């Protein structure tokens, strides 16, 4: 028996002439998968097993049309005043909240509820870490897409999907979608990362917005179109429960005369936004607003101390007071009854007309 030792045979057995095997050259999707798992462990101590991300090119209409119900919509701000989104479905959101507030993830699907401002704050560090690691790894791998994946950080959470087309530019977007298994099967969910497909321009019209002016302008456009409910408060009255239970339609509640000059306009949480005077406009009772400096805070009870193990409650963000219009030209409300006379609101038909120029 002879042994075949010809050089050609040896080269063939050794694989000579074959293309080199693929050993996992890094790309954006592979990098994102690893950084999501790393961010979960570093920021929240959450074990995440991420599936292979799907990458595609989409429009804003596709993003809003395929969004999961009750997902956290985290707006991200990047270079040149450009914006992207990180979408966490309700199970990913719940896993991040539970592990940070109770130390464990409950093995059941998350409740169907709208995300809150506190939810967004608790997820902000995780989102920032994902974006930071993605930027670093993409640059280290010298990816062609690295400039388009760099410079984005968490900005704020959007309350409604209709705010997305009002805030983000109508340009093509790069979307990564991946399934996540959290806490070894306790919850399964999905994360979407959506960024402008092309990098921000380094010069021209977009470059001047890098200082945040673009974000302020777009945020103003969104806020200006949002509905706001206010209430005008004449006076706070304290009375015994027994007296309250005797109130009927037509019962009279005496108010001091000075209440008409000290109407507090507050939001639904009781935070004052302006001070005013009660009057008439177009046949309806109306409040003539004063200047922002005349506003006075309403007495509020101190917030309750959160129970142990549930985490600290995040305080309400301060109310942003805008400039109020100059109403010095409005007609006077006229003479009011003396301090000793109770006010009957049904008899206030002769209040001064506030006019329509405010």
3-class DSSP assignment, residue 73: strand
Q: Are residues 194 and 267 in the same domain?
A: no
User: How high is the pLDDT of residue 151?
Assistant: 95
**Which of 224, 246, 281 lies at the terminal end of a domain, its last residue?**
224
The answer as to whether 1 is a domain residue is no
* Phi, psi for 189 (deg, rounded to 5): -155, -165
Q: Two tokens at 234?
A: 């004449």
User: How high is the pLDDT of residue 206?
Assistant: 43
CA–CA separation, 194 and 177 (whole Å): 9
Q: Are residues 54 and 80 in the same domain?
A: yes
Q: Are residues 91 and 124 in the same domain?
A: yes
Q: State which residues form the domain around 266.
A: 228-237+255-299+325-358
Our count of domains for the chain comes to 2
Residues in the chain, how many?
358
Q: Are residues 217 and 91 in the same domain?
A: yes
pLDDT in tens, the chain (358 residues): 455 555 554 455 555 555 444 456 789 999 999 999 999 999 999 999 999 999 999 999 999 999 999 999 999 999 988 999 999 999 999 999 999 999 999 999 999 999 999 999 999 999 999 999 999 999 999 999 999 999 999 999 999 999 999 999 999 999 999 999 999 999 999 999 999 999 887 654 444 444 455 666 666 666 666 677 788 888 888 888 888 888 888 888 888 877 778 888 887 667 788 888 887 777 777 878 874 444 343 343 444 444 444 444 434 444 444 444 444 444 454 444 444 445 555 555 555 566 555 4
CATH number of the domain bearing residue 190: 3.40.1550.10
Q: Are residues 85 and 219 in the same domain?
A: yes
The answer as to whether 247 is a domain residue is no
Q: Are residues 263 and 217 in the same domain?
A: no
The answer as to whether 355 is a domain residue is yes
User: How high is the pLDDT of residue 5?
Assistant: 52
3-state secondary structure 242-285: HHHHCCCCCCCCCCCHHHHHCEEEEECCCCEEEEEEEEEECCEE
Q: Are residues 169 and 274 in the same domain?
A: no
The answer as to whether 135 is a domain residue is yes
Q: Are residues 196 and 281 in the same domain?
A: no
User: How high is the pLDDT of residue 226?
Assistant: 66
CA–CA separation, 93 and 95 (whole Å): 6
Q: Are residues 217 and 93 in the same domain?
A: yes
**Which of 201, 224, 247 lies at the terminal end of a domain, its last residue?**
224
User: How high is the pLDDT of residue 233?
Assistant: 81
Q: Are residues 284 and 195 in the same domain?
A: no
Q: Two tokens at 154?
A: 């968490």
User: How high is the pLDDT of residue 326?
Assistant: 47
Q: Are residues 73 and 201 in the same domain?
A: yes
Q: Are residues 174 and 274 in the same domain?
A: no
User: How high is the pLDDT of residue 212?
Assistant: 55
The answer as to whether 259 is a domain residue is yes
User: How high is the pLDDT of residue 242?
Assistant: 86
């Amino acid at each position: 028996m002879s042994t075949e030792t010809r050089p050609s045979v040896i080269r063939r057995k050794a694989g000579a002439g074959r293309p080199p095997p693929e050993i996992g050259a890094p790309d954006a999707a592979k990098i994102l998968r690893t950084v999501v798992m790393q961010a979960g462990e570093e920021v929240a101590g959450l074990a995440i097993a991420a599936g292979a991300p799907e990458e595609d090119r989409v429009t804003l209409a596709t993003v809003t049309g395929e969004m999961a119900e009750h997902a956290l919509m985290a707006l991200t701000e990047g270079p040149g005043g450009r914006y992207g989104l990180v979408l966490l479905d309700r199970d990913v959101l719940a896993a991040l909240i539970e592990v940070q507030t109770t130390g464990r993830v409950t093995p059941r699907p998350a409740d169907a509820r709208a995300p809150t401002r506190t939810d967004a704050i608790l997820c902000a560090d995780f989102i920032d870490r994902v974006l930071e690691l993605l930027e670093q790894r993409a640059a280290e791998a010298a990816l062609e897409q690295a400039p388009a994946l760099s410079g984005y950080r968490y900005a704020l959470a959007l309350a409604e999907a209709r705010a997305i087309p009002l805030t983000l530019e109508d340009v093509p977007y790069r979307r990564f979608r991946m399934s996540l298994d959290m806490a070894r099967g306790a919850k399964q969910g999905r994360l979407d990362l959506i960024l402008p497909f092309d990098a921000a321009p380094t010069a021209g019209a977009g470059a001047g917005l890098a200082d945040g002016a673009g974000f302020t302008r777009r945020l103003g456009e969104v806020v200006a179109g949002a509905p706001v409910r206010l209430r005008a408060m004449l006076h706070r009255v304290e009375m015994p429960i027994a007296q309250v239970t005797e109130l009927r339609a037509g019962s009279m509640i005496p108010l001091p005369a000075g209440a008409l000059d000290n109407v507090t306009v507050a939001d639904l949480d009781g935070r004052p936004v302006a001070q005013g005077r009660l009057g008439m406009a177009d046949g309806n009772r109306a409040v003539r607003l004063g200047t922002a400096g005349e506003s006075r805070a309403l007495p509020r009870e101190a917030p309750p101390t959160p129970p142990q193990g549930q985490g600290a409650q995040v305080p309400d963000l301060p109310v942003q007071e805008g400039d109020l219009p100059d109403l010095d030209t409005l007609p006077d409300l006229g003479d009011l009854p003396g301090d000793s006379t109770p006010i009957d609101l049904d008899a206030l038909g002769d209040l001064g007309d506030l006019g329509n120029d405010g």
